[in-house]
Homo-oligomer: A and B are copies of this chain.
Amino acid sequence: MTPAPFETTRSGQDIGEREPLRYAARELSPSGSVIDLAGISIGGGELVVMAGPCAVESEQQLSAVARAVKASGARVLRGGAFKPRSSPYSFQGLKEEGLRLLAQISRETGLPVVTEALDTRYLDLVCRHVDMLQVGSRSMQNFPLLEAAGKCGKPVLLKRGMSATIEELLLAAEYVMKGGNRSVVLCERGIRTFETATRNTMDINAIPVLKRATHLPVIVDPSHGTGHWWMVPALSRAAVAAGADGLLVEVHPDPEAALSDGEQSLKPGDFDLMMRELRSVAHAVGKRLPEPEASQA
């Protein structure tokens, strides 16, 4: 009868009505964008797996992981040089030395490299050493960093914030694209919920929502999305089956000794097994995953 004088704040309107997507909207490229990363196509028919350690710890560690993940079919090397850590007393990354190691191992293995920059001051430095710039979850609404990423000349991997709505992720991509950089790959990496059995709740729903709203490629990070290495294969399969264009996976030769996030890192052997299982799921949804190198089989 009589309505309550009561309005909700987060509106139910169409996203585009409230906050226009001038560059990222699906309609602008209905068949989807394909981003070129040093010769590798993200968003095409190939499932692109980016793998490596949470943090670069040493030449030996990075080299071992890079060779192992390449042999299993990964196409891109990930590794943190500047690490955002909740506590100032935790390991903060090797910083410039880490960048140098990433560049070196990239040359040796032929794998392009993605790593995170935490601050505009280091963005040029990072971009000189690596092939793809990561904007991390905690930086998804660091607008000056997004604007700088829009002019950095390298493809950008933009991770969803821990409590960012899908709309906010798309608007963050608009900041980058407005600056002139159209090579943006979106990454779902788990959101914060009440559930404590997992570190985050991987929002697989986000994949079809993003695929409908934007032409940008979408990958997922099941390592952060779950927080447990033993869940990574199941969630990787789920993401691929739901339409993801790629994965970002943490691999460490000795997770118990890792300087960060060991609990969520796969060992190389488990990663290899996962990749073999993924191949058939990728095939089932019409995607290709490169065969592992012969030497590994």
Contacts and interface: CB of A to CB of B under 8 A. Distances in A.
A226 B209 CA distance: 10
A176 to B, nearest CB: 9
Number of copies: 4
Nearest to A193: B193
A246 B240 CA distance: 19
A257 interface: no
A198 B15 CA distance: 12
Contacts of A197: 6, 8-9, 15, 165-167, 205-206, 209
Interface in A221-237: 225-228, 230-231, 234-235, 237
Given A191-B193, A193-B194, 19 more contacts: A1-B20, A3-B20, A4-B15, A4-B214, A5-B212, A6-B16, A6-B197, A7-B13, A9-B196, A84-B143, A86-B167, A118-B143, A120-B120, A139-B142, A163-B192, A205-B231, A212-B230, A281-B284, A283-B284
29 contacts: A1-B22, A1-B25, A3-B21, A3-B25, A4-B15, A4-B214, A5-B26, A5-B27, A6-B15, A7-B12, A8-B10, A8-B196, A8-B197, A9-B12, A10-B199, A12-B196, A88-B171, A92-B143, A118-B143, A139-B142, A163-B192, A163-B194, A192-B192, A192-B194, A195-B203, A208-B231, A234-B243, A241-B281, A280-B285
List the 5 closest A-B pairs by CB distance, nearest first: A3-B16, A163-B163, A11-B12, A241-B241, A119-B144
